[in-house]
Amino acid sequence: MDSIAKFKIPEPIQKERTPFYYYDLDLLNHTLATAKKEADKYNFIIHYAVKANANDRILKIIRHHGIDADCVSGNEIKKVIEIGFDPEGIVYAGVGKTDWEIELAMETNIFCFNCESIAEIKVINSLAGKAGKTVNIALRINPNFRAGAHEYITTGVEENKFGIHPGELEIIMDTLALCPNLKFVGLHFHIGSQITDLNTFKRLCIRVNQIQEWFHNHQIIVNHINVGGGFGVDYNDPDNHPVSDFPNYFKLFNRFLDIGPGQKVHFELGRSLVAQCGSLITKVLYIKKGINTKFAIVDAGMTDLIRPALYQAYHKIENFTSTGKQEYYTIVGPICESSDTFGKYILLPETNRNDLLCIRSAGAYGETMASRYNLRDLPRALYSDNL
């Protein structure tokens, strides 16, 4: 194996105070252009899941590619409007929308609320009534199968809090008939995250087709099908697979989803658009000899990137500085938690104090999930073009 990392960041940026996120904007642009081009082939609409990365510069670039937004909070809606996203392209999901968030979304005239329960439908109807508005809603259906890389990022099974059970459709549609301020426009699904097996999406298509049949049999028109996000990236080998296989991903939906005349298909991609363009750059503070391993204690912690601590997620770690003999290291942060570990028994060239390490594929659910635990500063962001 090549001991020198292929991936490089510009020299001036290597001198910046650590830790920081580094974003490769060329890769971001390339990823977005690829996804958009492939989706356009079938007139599919992409909504970017803002929660994956809500950094202003990243959002502006995404908007520049003509991609719409998928929000899960009132503040995300405010943010994307500020950035210049089209309100008519915003979809708004979430199991716990508060009254002010619903009101804000209505004032903003977003495209659609993705509703997750009867209780929520009733509240939205009542708030829309007060505002004298009719709002579009889609039903988030729980397709009831297991998908995704980790229990916490699996959303499509019965025992989690997301979505409406298909068995409830009759009651839901009866409820909707009594809601004069709501307009039913479609169905929404989101089955989980970091799904790399395209077969899982094929299964989703088949479920969606079955559920659509119920609507067809009840003579209810479904104008919009939103199949959510969840498409994965290659955390193991970001250099050889910097962009997910969008051509086959979209092709699969076109092939297996029953798309009626005039029906529009929507996607909510987060991770697959932004994960690979971001890295967390950190400096080694100390090397500490343990019993079975050497610890490399770095200046980034779980407050900067929580995925390894929260989901046991794997991120490739590289040493930019050293070309020495390979050894195993456990890479840990300075936070007072044992879970503050970025990787165990990682083969790195001999690592010393002040070496720069790069934690790859950190553009999604990295910076957005940063916290100030231990009163640490939030990580900064630097870009490939600000030299």
Ligand X SMILES: *Cc1c(COP(=O)(O)O)cnc(C)c1O
List residues binding ligand X (CB under 6 A): 49, 51-52, 70, 72, 93, 190, 193, 228-231, 268-272, 364
Strands 68-71 and 317-319 turn out to be: unpaired
Q: How many CB atoms lie within 10 A of CB 247?
A: 14
What single string gives the DSSP state of each residue in 89-110? G-EE--S---HHHHHHHHHTT-
Distance, in Å, from the CA atom of 224 to the CA atom of 265, rounded to the nearest integer, reads: 6
Q: In whole angstroms, how close is the CB of 78 to ligand X at the nearest point?
A: 18
Strands 182-188 and 264-269 turn out to be: unpaired
Name which of 48 and 184 has its Cβ closer to ligand X: 48
Name which of 92 and 383 has its Cβ closer to ligand X: 92
Q: In whole angstroms, how close is the CB of 190 to ligand X at the nearest point?
A: 4
Name which of 76 and 340 has its Cβ closer to ligand X: 76
Which tokens belong to 234? 């290659």
The sign of the dihedral angle between the CA atoms of 247, 358, 153, 148 is: positive
CB–CB of 111/92 below 8 Å? no
Q: Give the N- to C-terminal CA distance of the chain in Å, as an integer.
A: 31
Q: In whole angstroms, how close is the CB of 273 to ligand X at the nearest point?
A: 8
Name which of 89 and 229 has its Cβ closer to ligand X: 229
Q: Provide the β-strand partners of residue 356.
A: 283
Name which of 269 and 309 has its Cβ closer to ligand X: 269
Q: In whole angstroms, how close is the CB of 225 to ligand X at the nearest point?
A: 14
Name which of 265 and 364 has its Cβ closer to ligand X: 364
Q: Which residue has its beta carbon closest to ligand X?
A: 270
Distance, in Å, from the CA atom of 294 to the CA atom of 117, rounded to the nearest integer, reads: 50
Q: In whole angstroms, how close is the CB of 147 to ligand X at the nearest point?
A: 10
Q: In whole angstroms, how close is the CB of 364 to ligand X at the nearest point?
A: 6
